[in-house]
């Protein structure tokens, strides 16, 4: 591997995972159904639409009242976006539960990610998270304790371009202040991370946590804590 100055890491299934395993979409739909709240069919874009002001309007360190006001705002957006017929007070009534389903506390960081990040930081690498994710991923990262371990968080919902488009990798390299060939991108998606990163000129490694199916990339790790030893 030629000289690397910066590390770019995917977020979901690379650094963090959904605690219950099913993902937020299923959890939300299950919740609405359990409460007999009729809703429009789910589509992935819903998350992007309801979180589109998360970066600007949400403050992780805000007062309890400010946070509650945001949860109600978010609940109201969810109900409107999914065309849920609601009664007076429904957004307030469901706000905390919906935040619990969609907010950062439904994720956890892989133990091997902490190990890898600490080792990479100790060796002086600059680190960016590059993710196809809704606006405000940096707040999720802060609440998961990742903020002190990374220098930049680049989310597609914030920058308007998603992996595998080279534009999001170019944005990450610009924020790192590095040429793409000096940046190593690691993620779990063959198309978005491995091929996308390579097409943008970054060095790439595929993280394949599950040994099956057969590897489809020439540079693979199975755990994130294998990474520091390769540099
Ligand atoms: Mg991923």
**Model confidence pLDDT, tens digit, residues 59-110:** 988 999 999 999 999 999 999 999 999 999 999 999 999 999 999 999 999 9
- The pLDDT tens digits for 26-72 are 999 999 999 999 999 999 999 999 999 999 999 988 999 999 999 99
- 95 and 116 fall within a common domain: no
Q: Give distance in angstroms: CA of 187 to centre of ligand 1.
A: 6
Residues 214 and 192 occupy one common structural domain: yes
Residue 161 and residue 197 in one domain? yes
Closest CA to 28 of 89, 99, 90: 99
Does the structure show a pLDDT above 90 at 211? no
How many angstroms separate the alpha carbon of residue 166 from the centre of ligand 1?
Answer: 16
Q: Is residue 142 part of a domain?
A: yes
- Sequence-distant (≥ 6) Cβ neighbours of residue 22 within 8 angstroms: none
Same domain, 99 and 51: yes
Percent of the chain with pLDDT over 70: 100
Q: How far apart are CA 180 and CA 10, in angstroms?
A: 16
Q: What is the whole-number distance in angstroms between the Cα of residue 85 and the centre of ligand 1?
A: 34
pLDDT on residue 212: 81
Residue 209, classified by CB atoms within 10 Å of its CB into exposed (0-12), middle (13-18) or buried (19+), is: middle
pLDDT of residue 2: 74
How many domains does one find in the chain? 2
- Closest by CA to 11, choosing from 168, 206, 188, is 188
Report the relative pairing of strands 6-9 and 126-131 from DSSP bridges: parallel
Which tokens in the block code for residue 110? 């892989």
Domain that holds residue 176: 6-18+107-230
Residue 37: predicted pLDDT: 95
Together in a domain, 206 and 122: yes
């Amino acid at each position: 591997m030629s000289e690397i100055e910066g590390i770019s890491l995917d977020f979901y299934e690379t650094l963090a995972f959904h605690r219950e395993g099913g993902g937020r979409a299923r959890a939300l739909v299950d919740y609405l159904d359990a409460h007999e709240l009729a809703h429009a069919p789910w589509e992935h874009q819903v998350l992007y639409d309801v979180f589109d002001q998360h970066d600007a309007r949400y403050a992780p360190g805000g007062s309890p009242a400010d946070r509650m006001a945001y949860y109600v705002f978010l609940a109201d957006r969810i109900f409107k976006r999914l065309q849920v017929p609601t009664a007076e007070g429904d957004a307030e009534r469901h706000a905390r539960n919906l935040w619990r389903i969609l907010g950062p506390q439904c994720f956890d960081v892989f133990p091997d990610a902490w190990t890898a990040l600490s080792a990479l930081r100790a060796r002086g690498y600059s680190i960016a998270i590059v993710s196809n994710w809704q606006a405000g991923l940096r707040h999720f990262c802060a609440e998961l304790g990742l903020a002190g371990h990374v220098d930049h968080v680049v989310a597609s919902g914030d920058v308007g371009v998603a992996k595998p488009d080279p534009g999001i990798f170019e944005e990450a390299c610009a924020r790192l202040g590095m040429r793409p060939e000096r940046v190593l991108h690691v993620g779990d998606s063959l198309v978005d991370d491995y091929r996308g990163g390579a097409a943008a000129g970054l060095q790439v490694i595929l993280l394949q946590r599950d040994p099956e199916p057969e590897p489809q990339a020439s540079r693979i790790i199975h755990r994130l804590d294998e990474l520091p030893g390769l540099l």
